[in-house]
Amino acid sequence: MELRKNDYLISTDKGKLDRTLIHRFLSTESGWANGITFETVNKSIENCLNFGVYHGKEQIGYAKVISDFATIAYLGDVFILDKYRGLGLSKWLMESITSHGELQNLRRWILLTNTAPWLYEKYGFTKLANPDFYMERHNPKVYEV
């Protein structure tokens, strides 16, 4: 998938991704994946539906979706570089993700976030209706050396 708006592009082509940029952002700026290795980021990219955001040939944003493309999708690692925030690119990215042909008619979308809930709410994300049903196995120190 490729979508253009003025000088910007959103693409799901893995070959266009700047994996070094994605790793640098996730490992040093994200707050949720600090310390993640390049190898882990690369493996994740290979096993996800990726959305790169570009200004000209420069990658300026990213998101990934982990899905079976039939019943469920997990949205993660969403970011737009600071320099490009406030231009409506995160909204365009979310519109592109939620309208992607392979991600329609899913029973459930999952998102874990403590930043920008106002953005995700615009696309139907809500707090858990039944948090008592939610379980997790979480290792927040997995990327620490």
Plot region of 14 (φ>0 → left; ψ -120 to 50 → alpha; else → beta): alpha
Map out the domains of the chain as residue ranges. Answer: 2-133
Residue 126's pLDDT is: 94
Q: Which residue has the higher pLDDT, 21 or 144?
A: 21
Structure confidence by residue, pLDDT tens digits, 42-81: 999 999 999 999 999 999 999 999 999 999 999 999 999 9
Residue 122's pLDDT is: 93
To the nearest 10 degrees (0 to 180), the angle between helices 38-46 and 19-28 is 120
Q: What's the pTM?
A: 0.93
Fold of the 2-133 domain: Aminopeptidase (3.40.630)
Q: How many CB atoms lie within 10 A of CB 100?
A: 18
